[in-house]
Amino acid sequence: MNGTVRPEAGTLEARVFRGLYPGLDLHSAGGVHVAVPKGTPVFAGPTLTAVVWQASGYAGTCPRGTGWPAAGAR
């Protein structure tokens, strides 16, 4: 999914959520909705291994205090 999971942008619920919480990004996939601070990458996959591969290959930065990158990867 490459960190760019997009919810159904046109749904009323998604539009209301975004209006109420402009500082959060809303991601939805497979009936699961996740809200994270804007600018925080989201890694999703069918297995934990897929998520680890995405996170380990990510070259960007995350907000302080997120615990990422993993301690062994620093």
Res. 30: pLDDT tops 70: yes
Res. 24: pLDDT tops 60: yes
DSSP state at residue 1: -
Res. 48: pLDDT tops 90: yes
Res. 1: pLDDT tops 50: no
CA atoms of 11 and 26, how far apart (whole Å): 12
Which 3-state string (H, E, C) describes 2-68?
Answer: CCCCCCCCCCHHHHHHHHHCCCEEEEEECCEEEEEECCCCCCCCCCHHHHHHHHHHCCCCCCCCCCC
CA atoms of 49 and 37, how far apart (whole Å): 24
